[in-house]
Amino acid sequence: MALNIQRYMTRGVVRVVTDSLRATAENSKESAFMRSFAKAARAASKKRYAAEKRGEHIPPFLIASITSSCNLHCAGCYSRSNNACCDSQPVDQLSGDEWNRIFSEAGDLGISFILLAGGEPLMRYDVIQQAAQHKNIMFPIFTNGTFLHEKYLDMLDENRNLVPIISIEGDEHITDERRGNGVYRQVTTAMQSIQNRGMIFGASVTVTTENLHEVYADPFLDSLYELGCKAVIFVEFVPVTAESQHLAPGEAEQQYMHKAVKRLRRRKRGMVFISFPGDEKSSGGCVAAGRGFFHINSHGGAEPCPFSPYSDVNVRDTSLKAALQSPLFRALQTEGLLADDHIGGCTLYMNKDKVEALLHAEG
C-alpha cells in the first residue's frame, strides 16, 4: 500500500509540474522558475524513494495553517466551526523561526509542496518571508485575496516559489453571498494586479450543490483565464453543520464533477485543474494522515488534515519526521478509515467519532 501511494503521489507531483510548465510557457520568468523547481522536485522524489526503501513513508505534500486569524467570516467556514479560526492573533502560535525550522525539515525529507493556509495566511508576513527563502519548495498560498497589495505583490514577484491561490466561489453574487459584500471586486482587482506584473496565480473554488454547474462552465473559467489564472483547485464542500448538509455534493454531483474535470483538462490546456478529493479516488482512499499529506496547525499540532483537527503530537516537541510516525497517524493508516465511503470532501470529518475514539485509545 505504501509503495502504491508513493507512486501515485509522485505521479501527481510530476503532472502538476508538467502542466505548470505548459501553462507558463509564454512567461519567461515563470518558466525559468518552473524548470528549476522541476529539477528540485525530481531530487525530492529520490529522497522519498530512498526513505521508502528504509521503511519510512514521506508524503510529497504538507498543509501548514500558519495562523488562526482571519479577517473574513465566510458562511459555512469549517475552520471557524472547528474553533480553529478567530479574529485576533493568539499569542501561542508558532513563531516565524519555528515555521522556518519546519520548512527546512520538510525540504530535507523530500516534501515538495507546502500549502500555506489559515485563517488567512497573508496575516503572517513574517512566515511568508521565511517560506520565500526555501526555493526548492513550492508554497501555494491559499488566501482570500484581500491582502494582496503592493507589499505582498513585490514579495511574490521576487519569489516565484510563492504562488497565491485565491478563493472565489463563482460570479460576484455567489462569492459575496458567502464571503461578504465587495470581496469579489477585491479579489478580481488583485488578480488583475498579479497579471499586470507577469506573475501567475491559481483559484480555489469550494464546490457546492448551489454553484456546481457555474464553476465548471466555460464563462466562469474563461473569465479567470483572462485575468491570468493558470490553475483551478476544486474543493468539495464539507458540511460542518446539519443545516449545511444539502450543500455537500452527492454521488450524482461527484460523477458530474469527475467528468467535468476530465473535459476541462482536454479542452483548456492553458490551465491546470486539480480536484479534491476527486483526484485521490484512484489512490484507494483518503491520502491524509501522512499517506499523501498531513497538516500542521498554527499551534504546532500534527493533524491528519485541516478537516480532522485531532493531534497526539506537537512539532514544537519533536521533529517533523517523528510526527509522521505518530500513533494516531499509524492507527488511521491501518484501521481502514481512510478508505471509508463518505458524503462531501472529507471522510475523516464524517467519521470524526471514530477518529476521536482512536485518539483516546492511543492516549
165-186, pLDDT tens digit by residue? 999 999 999 999 999 999 999 9
Q: What is the pTM of this model?
A: 0.89
Strands laid side by side in the 293-296 sheet: 272-276, 229-236, 201-207, 162-167, 139-143, 113-117, 61-65, 293-296, 302-303
Indicate if the pLDDT at residue 361 is higher than 90. no
Distance CA(34)–CA(341), nearest Å, equals 36
The Cα 87–Cα 71 span in angstroms is 6
55-89 pLDDT, tens digit each:
999 999 999 999 999 998 887 776 776 667 777 77
Q: What would the DSSP string read from start to end of 119-143?
A: S-GGG-HHHHHHHHT-TTSBEEEEE
> 238 has which bridge partners?
none
Q: What angle do CA 26, 131, 346 make, to 5 degrees?
A: 85
What is the per-residue pLDDT across 222-231, written as a single tens digit (0 to 9) for each? 999 999 998 8
Question: What's the helix, strand, coil split of the chain in %, to 5?
Answer: 50, 15, 35
pLDDT digits (tens, 9 = 90+) for 241-276: 777 888 888 889 988 998 999 999 899 988 888 888
Cβ contact 255:48 at 8 Å: no
pLDDT in the model for residue 109: 97
Q: What are the tens digits of pLDDT across the range 103-147?
A: 999 999 999 999 999 999 999 999 999 999 999 999 999 999 999
Strand 113-117 versus strand 302-303 pairing type: unpaired
pLDDT band at 1 (very low <50, low <70, confident <90, very high): very low
pLDDT score recorded for residue 270? 83
Give the per-residue pLDDT at 363: 54
Residue corresponding to grid cell 483551478: 232
Region for 219 from its dihedrals, namely left if φ exceeds 0, alpha if ψ lies in -120 to 50, beta otherwise: alpha
What sign has the CA pseudo-torsion 346, 347, 353, 356?
negative
Please give the domain boundaries of the chain with CATH numbers for all domains: 59-362 (3.20.20.70)
Average pLDDT over residues 29-45: 89
Rounded to an integer, what distance in angstroms lies between the CA atom of residue 198 and that of residue 33? 13
